[in-house]
Amino acid sequence: MSRRARAAVLAVTGVLLLTGGPSHALGQVVRGQVKDRDTGKPALGVVTLIDTAGGLIGRMPTGPQGQYALTAPRAGAYLLQFVGPGYGPYVTREFTLAAGESRIMGLEAVPLPAIALDTVIVEGRPVPSRLAGFYQRKSGGFGEFLTREELERWNPSQPTDVLRRMAGVNLVPTDLGYRVVSRRDPRCAPAVFLDGIYMGTGAEFDFDAVLTTEQIEGVETYSGAGQIPAEFNRSDCGAVVVWTRVAGPGQGGSLSHFDLAAEAGGWMSSEGLQQGRVGARGLIGVGAAEISPAVHVLVPGFRIGGAEDRSGVEIQFTVRGRPLGRGTPWYAGLGVTFLELEAPRSVADEEQYFLLLAGASLPRGAVRPMVEVQALNPFGFSKTRFQVFVGAVVKVY
């Protein structure tokens, strides 16, 4: 055979080997559709190709019509598995893919039987959105918490009685009440927050003077820096957070406290105290303000200098608030005062004034000293009179 003939035979043989023999480059493919056995509709889920040793070969979710297609890397024995919501696991029998084979296999998804579950009753109560964080932190397991329901079962008489039940803090008696300190270190006072607002430390804030137990919705305490949430992290000594109630139907309005004060004072002039008087005042807390009615009796002889000695009665109605915060001693307000005066010659005289006032009442303890300055007819300039009262406030409710 000539050289040219041998070359032609070799070329033909190579072409036959390339085109006539089995093709491994195309791989082995199994494809098909998954249908619901009962309805015949396409079933949605995941089809997995595994070998006889349990090894994962390929996995794919079914298409909108339940179709799938998976490729095996080599010829051999395989199984198909189908898993889908509402269907039981389905595994085919073992089948063999020859080299380069493309096999079509339809799969049947077997629906799971319906199961009747017992009735589930979910109980709860709505909480104000501002307290959502309180209950989320309570479920987190850090800190110590008291809820309104627990307070109503224990019925404490004072807010400090509530704090006595908290393991992380301790109460130290003082001349004017109690200060709150860390139980681990009595020299350390925790930060105090009222409705999320920083009020100072436990050594500065008087719980009994500012709050009543009826106002408290929840309390949370943190004994160490590692427990304190970021929003209350003001001190390594821990934190005490008090949440107040919002008055609603059936709660009897928003009365927060009722105090009584005994006081004495009078008009101030260049000669000193004039028309001295003694009396009593009520302090009725309504929300963030106080309504304060008062009755004073002018005492003859209770004066300094040579001003005319007069007797009579004074009635006042004022409204006041604490613009620097409810935990501070300073307050301011306005009101009216009515006087019915009598001179020694039994001549009656009636006077009334609009007034502005400012004062301080220490927010500590059950008995609190107070001092108050009133400007009568404050816009009359040269006719403005000033009177000063000093006294003591006793908490009733």
pLDDT at site 77: 93
Burial class (CB in 10 A: 0-12, 13-18, 19+), 19: exposed
pLDDT at site 288: 67
pLDDT at site 339: 86
pLDDT at 204 over 70: yes
Ramachandran assignment for 177, one of left (phi > 0), alpha (psi -120 to 50 degrees), beta (any other): left
Confidence band of 17 (pLDDT split at 50, 70, 90)? very low
Confidence band of 348 (pLDDT split at 50, 70, 90)? low
pLDDT at site 249: 38
pLDDT at 3 over 60: no
Cβ-based neighbours of 395, under 8 Å, separated by 6 or more: 208, 209, 257, 259, 366, 367, 368
pLDDT at site 24: 39
* Other C-beta atoms lying within 10 Å of the C-beta of residue 383: 10
pLDDT at site 8: 43
175 or 290, higher pLDDT: 290
What does the alpha-carbon distance between residue 124 and residue 137 come to, in Å, rounded to a whole number? 17
pLDDT at 195 over 90: no
What does the alpha-carbon distance between residue 207 and residue 30 come to, in Å, rounded to a whole number? 77
pLDDT in tens, 64-85: 899 999 999 999 999 999 988 8
User: Which of 39-48, 113-122, 210-219 is the most confident on average?
Assistant: 39-48
What are the CB-based long-range contacts (under 8 Å, 24+) for 166-171?
A: 166/219, 166/221, 166/240, 167/223, 168/143, 168/144, 168/221, 168/222, 168/223, 168/224, 168/238, 169/202, 169/221, 169/223, 169/238, 169/240
pLDDT in tens, 358-381: 998 875 556 788 999 999 888 876
Tell me how long the chain is: 397
pLDDT at site 345: 58
Where do you find CATH 2.60.40.10 in the chain?
Answer: 25-109
Least confident of 26-30, 215-219, 325-329: 325-329
Mean pLDDT across the stretch 159-168?
87
Where do you find CATH 2.170.130.10 in the chain?
Answer: 129-244
pLDDT at site 9: 40
Mean pLDDT across the stretch 340-350?
68
Superfamily grouping for domain 129-244: TonB-dependent receptor, plug domain (2.170.130.10)
Domain 255-395 adopts which CATH fold?
Porin (2.40.160)
Architecture field, domain 25-109: Sandwich (2.60)
30 or 271, higher pLDDT: 30
pLDDT at 12 over 60: no
pLDDT in tens, 88-125: 888 899 999 999 899 999 998 889 887 766 666 656 66
Q: Please list the helix, strand and coil fractions of the chain in percent, rounded to the nearest 5, in that order.
A: 15, 45, 40
pLDDT at site 371: 92
pLDDT at site 384: 84
Please state, rounded to an integer, the average pLDDT across all residues of the chain: 80
What does the alpha-carbon distance between residue 68 and residue 64 come to, in Å, rounded to a whole number? 10
pLDDT at site 324: 75
pLDDT at site 31: 92
